[in-house]
Amino acid sequence: MSDGLHPAVVSAQPSQRDEKNPDAPLFEGEYQDRLEKILSRYPFKRAALLPVLNMAQQVRGWISPDTIKRVAEILELSPAYVRSVASFYTMFQLRPAGKYLIQVCTGIGCDLCGAEDVVEGLLKATGTRIGETSADGKYTVVEVECLAGCGFPTMVQINDRMYENVKAEDVEGLLKELD
């Protein structure tokens, strides 16, 4: 195994790459090894669906219909079933997102502490609407339920990085920091 990762963590390796190629080859080279490691952890192939989808998203940035078919083929499932599972979890992007996927928690805790203003500020600053990608292809803002940081509202996650205690007035600085 080229990267020496333990099977239990290979699929959870955060991908810090901002630029992703939606047509990148899936499960080749290094990722072929990772796939085999993932499969080795489970008694049957279907059980590996979530980590395999996770890895596919890391490689390509989103779960395209083509990716779904490929994953279904590898795990011997029906493509419809793979789409069903992928759509159940909001962490899987079923549409291409911008270079920066900005997830804002609007769960009860963050909401009470002004999450709506943060969302509004972000939408204004990026010139998009919820779930849409800005014209320059850079930003996608979405609302999520909980980012497991309720002690630090409002929680914002941009790609794989978490930002705590975000206020509406922090939005501009936040976006600048990205570029």
Partner 1 sequence: MNDEKKLLNVTIDGVELEVPAGTTILAAAERVGAVIPRYCYHPGLSAPAVCRMCLVEVEGAPKPLASCVQPVQDDMVVHTNTAQARKARRAAVEFLLMNHPLDCPICDAAGQCELQDYAFETGQLKTRYVEPKLVMGRDKVTPEIVYFADRCILCTRCVRFMDEIAKDPVLVVINRGQRGYIDTMTGELFENPFSINIVDVCPVGALVNEDFLFKARAWDLDQTASICPGCSQGCNVSLGTKEERIVRAKPRFNPEVNSYWMCDHGRKTVINWGAGARIEVPMARDGDELKPVDWPQALDALSEAIGNEPGRARAIVSAGASNESLFTLRRLMEELGSDGGVFRVPTGPEAELPGFPKLKLRRDRVPNAKGAELLGFQRSDAVFDSAQGHRGALFVLEDTLEGAPDGFGTNAELFVYIGTRLNPAARSADIVLPSTTFAEMAGTFTNFEGRVQRFEQALRGPGLARPWWLTGSALLERLGAGGRYRTAAEVFAALASEVSEYEGLNYEVLGLKGAGAPGSSAAATAG
Q: Which residues bind partner 1 (CB under 8 A)?
A: 65, 68-69, 78-84, 87-88
| Closer to partner 1 by Cβ: residue 68 or 113 | 68
Cβ proximity to partner 1: between 44 and 88 the closer is: 88
Name the burial class of residue 41, with classes exposed (0-12), middle (13-18) and buried (19+) by CB atoms within 10 angstroms of its CB: middle
Q: How far is the CB of 70 from partner 1 (least distance, A)?
A: 13
Q: Which is nearer to partner 1, 76 or 179 (CB)?
A: 76
Residue 110 is assigned to a ligand binding site = yes
SS3 43: coil
**What are the residues whose beta carbons fall under 8 Å from the beta carbon of 76, sequence distance 6 or more?**
45, 46
Closest contact distance (angstroms) between CB of 54 and partner 1 is 18
Find out whether 113 is annotated in a ligand binding site. no
Q: Which of 94, 139, 149 is nearest to 119 (CA)?
A: 139
Binding positions are 105, 110, 146, 150
